[in-house]
Amino acid sequence: MSYFKDNIDAMTAYVPGEQPKAGDGAVKMNTNENAYPPSPKVTEALREFNCDALQRYPDPMAREFSAVAAEVLGVPVEWILPGNGSDDIIVMISRACAGPGRRIVYPTPTFEFYFTQGAIEAAEVVEIPTDENFALPVDDIIQANGDVTFIANPNSPTGVTASIDDLRQLAGELDGLLVIDEAYADFAEVTAIALVSEFDNVIVLRTLSKGYSLAGLRLGFGVARSELLDGLMKTKAIYNVDAVSATLGAAAMRDQDYKNDCASRIIASRNKLAGDLEAIGFTVWDSQANFLMVRPPAGAEASDVCNNLKERMILVRYFDSKRLDDKLRITIGDEEQNKSLLNALKEILPQ
Ligand SMILES: *Cc1c(COP(=O)(O)O)cnc(C)c1O
């Protein structure tokens, strides 16, 4: 006997990347956090936060935060739906649009959480494999015609980025909702925000976890036309964004210079690390995110490299799945961390 619904019993749970204890000295390159701390303006806002405000419920729409997000992206504030991380928006979308007899579609490999949400809603999940270059399979996705289609762009764990023209074609031809998950947009050359004005079935997801160095805060948002958000709103937890997050998130987004400066440094480090890894025999895929997908040189198993790095207190992400088990996903660190990684790899790799 089980207390749970059949589909919950049948599904496997999402497994988050390992989080070592703070202060244990690990070089953390496994969950795509920012290499740099949050803006000093965030620290300042936290110091000045009046705790008496916590006596009351927060604004259910976090309007102060949403207004800053809207201004930064150049969209009306009515187009912003704040969430407890962008994961929360993925949950709202799935609750609103997926279920028995309704299809969730996404290209693979990608963020596993889309699968998790499809399974929770007992939706039909259609995975569309990408080709050997992990390019977006536009025609196959159109054919599958999901009630919801998820595209992470840049994609994780590949870092591969689809063009705005491909996304526009999807938006125009799909009958259902197109969710463009831009968790890594702050490091990328492409954004689909413009498609929100062009199409009523597009929602773009943003997060403060990566670009704004605030993974621990839990704040993200969706950008879509108000009519679409009105539907999603029905599935929102009442007070999904707490007062502290909303205040600190607004402070972080007001400081675009700081965020852009960190992003530029990470992009420069990413390009340098890609070249350095290729020089020691790795295959490196083009990435527009704050991580690289790489394949170790012949003779070195990805899982062994991951374990050997771990013994040296360097964490990278290994995925034990068919298309990824010969690869690693490495989050870009600061210059010192990237050097530690390279030195460790030179020791580990067979000479
Ligand atoms: C990190 C990530 C997210 C979610 O981040 P939150 O911390 O929940 O805002 C969403 N999608 C992808 C593809 C990610 O990599």
85 lines ligand 1 (CB under 6 A): yes
User: For residue 6, how far is the Cα from the chain centroid?
Assistant: 29
pLDDT above 90 (res 53): yes
pLDDT of 338 over the 90 cut: yes
Return d(Cα 129, Cα 268) in angstroms, integer. Answer: 31
Q: Are 281 and 348 in contact (CB under 8 A)?
A: no
Judge if the beta carbon of residue 82 lies within 6 A of ligand 1: no
Based on the number of CB atoms within 10 Å of its own CB, is 114 exposed (0-12), middle (13-18) or buried (19 or more)? Answer: buried
In which band, very low, low, confident or very high, does the pLDDT at 18 lie, cut at 50, 70 and 90?
confident
Average pLDDT over residues 237-245: 97
Residue closest via CA to ligand 1's atom 14 equals: 183
Listed residue (288, 201, 255, 237) closest to 85, CA to CA: 237
Per-residue model confidence (pLDDT) at position 348: 94
Higher pLDDT among residues 17 and 53, named by residue: 53
Per the listing, tokens 């110091």 go with 47
pLDDT higher than 90, residue 66: yes
Taking alpha carbons only, the member of 107, 154, 152 closest to residue 287 is 154
* pLDDT band at 250; cut points 50, 70, 90: very high
| pLDDT for position 89 | 98
Element (H, E) at 166: helix 164-173
Across the range 306-330, mean pLDDT stands at 96
290 lines ligand 1 (CB under 6 A): no
Paired sense of beta strands 27-29 and 80-83, if any: unpaired
289: left (phi over 0), alpha (psi -120 to 50) or beta: beta
pLDDT of residue 24: 79
